[in-house]
A and B are shown apart, each in its own frame.
Chain A
Amino acid sequence: MIPLGHYLIVSAILFAIGTCGVFLRRNLITILLSIEIMLNAVNLTFIAFARQHGSVDGQIIVFFVMTVAAAEAAVGLAIVIGLFRHRESLNPDAFTLLKW
Chain B
Amino acid sequence: MPETLIFYLLSGLAILTSALVIGQRNPMYSVMLLIASFGALAGLYVTLDAPFVAVAQIIIYAGAIMVLFLFVVMLLNAPHEDGAEWDRAHPLRQPGVGRFGALLALLLVVQLAWALLRTGSVDVPVTGAVDAETISSVRLVGRTLFTDYVFAFEATSILILVAMVGAVVLAHREGDRG
Chain A contact residues, CB within 8 Å of chain B: 1-10, 12-21, 23-27, 29-30, 32-34, 36-37, 40, 43-44, 47-48, 50-57, 59-60, 62-64, 66-75, 77-82, 84-85, 89-91, 93-94
- SS class of chain A's interface: helix, strand, loop or mixed? helix
- SS class of chain B's interface: helix, strand, loop or mixed? helix
**Is B61 in contact with A7, judged by CB distance below 8 angstroms?**
no
Q: A69-B61, A71-B163 are in contact. List 8 more A-B contacts (CB 8 A).
A: A5-B117, A9-B116, A17-B22, A23-B105, A59-B52, A67-B159, A70-B160, A78-B171
Task: State the CA gap A1–B118 with chains docked (Å).
Answer: 20
User: Nearest chain-A residue to B173 (Cβ)?
Assistant: A85
A69 / chain B contacts, CB cutoff of 8 Å = 61, 65
- Which of B53, B92, B117 is packed against the most chain A CB atoms within 10 Å? B53
Task: State the CA gap A84–B76 with chains docked (Å).
Answer: 8
For residue A89, give the distance in angstroms from its CB to the closest CB of chain B. Answer: 6
User: Nearest chain-B residue to A88 (Cβ)?
Assistant: B78
8 Å CB contact of B15 from A14, A50, A70, A93? A14
Please encode chain B, from 39 to 69, with 1 for each CB lying within 8 Å of some chain A CB and 0 for all others.
0010011011110110011001100110011
